[in-house]
Chain A
Amino acid sequence: MLSLLERYPDHRPAFLNVAQGSLYEIPTMAHTVLGSCVSVTFFVPSRGLAGIFHALLPRAEEYRLHDPEVTPYKFVDTAIRNIAFRMFHRGISRQEIECKVFGGASAMFAEEISVGRRNVETAFVTLAELGLRIAASNVGGDRGRKIAFATRTGEIFVRMLNNSTKNGTQR
């Protein structure tokens, strides 16, 4: 992380925990670590505006006790809609927004096999429903990912982690 901040001295670091997300207007090096969770980055080059979240589960409607108004970034679908609509509200058109999708690793034990994939599928489908273009994705596999997003330039750095999701340190 240090070498990245040396390369981007005007960016302040911000670590995203699970169920956190934000829009950034000032240069920020937003970074997080993903297992089966998913992050989507949103970048509007013409405005210097960016957004990113770290979501745990695919769809809010599958969890009846959850109130998406309270924690919109816990679920992939509500997280995408929240950031997209905040951008639309500012007069940004969908054609101006460049999205990238990361995460969705699969654990090797049976009950979690599909969580990563379902998170990714929800991200792809929700972005398509909103008419948002996915410029790139780096998803799946059985290794976690560390990602950093330079919000002023839209650059993404991804490092695949050596520890597998099956070792129990990641969900």
Chain B
Amino acid sequence: MPRVLIVDDSRYQRFLIAQALEGMFTPDHAADGREALALFRAALTSPEPYALVVMDILMPELNGHAALAAIRQLEADLGLAENARVPAVMLSSLDDPGNMLRAQFESGAQAYVTKPFTPATLHEALTSLGLLDNPLSDDAEAVHSC
């Protein structure tokens, strides 16, 4: 199974996230951003790097924005193209516009899910990131978008 890095300072939240991803990913847990960065750095050059990062924001040592930005910098330093970078979902109890904007426009998250969350909502995010089967086809309607 692909690997997921679950980053949250709450053991209970890490359990809930791992439970929601059970059978889909093999989880590693980190309790703060610094620990996450160390795990990610080690995995990045391993035979089996992470396929997904689920990141909290409010954590000791290094918050989720800074940790994810540092992960993106690590990937850039390795010369990874943007479309080759690991998908990341920010999963936080913070639901203010500033944090949601910063996560997806600056920190490097592709999706944001607000706690308390349902597994279905997290699965929707993973489907949009191409990590779960997507019943929505990619067809020619794209040219009509704006």
A contact set with B: CB distance below 8 Å: 1-4, 7, 15, 17-18, 32-37, 56, 117, 120-121, 124-125, 128, 133-141, 144-148, 155-163, 169-171
Contact = CB atoms under 8 A, between A and B. Distances in A.
A140 B114 CA distance: 17
Contact of B128 (A1, A128, A133, A138): A138
B66 interface: no
The list of the 8 closest CB pairs from A to B, nearest first, reads A33-B145, A124-B97, A158-B128, A171-B146, A157-B136, A140-B104, A159-B136, A138-B111
B61 interface: no
B113 interface: yes
B101 interface: yes
Nearest to A160: B128
B135 interface: yes
Identify whether the interface residues of B are mostly helix, strand, loop, or mixed: mixed
Interface string B107-118: 000111110010
A136 B97 contact: no
Interface string B94-125: 01110011001100001111100100110011
B125 A138 contact: yes
> Which of A7, A17, A128: most chain B CB closer than 10 A?
A128
B10 interface: no
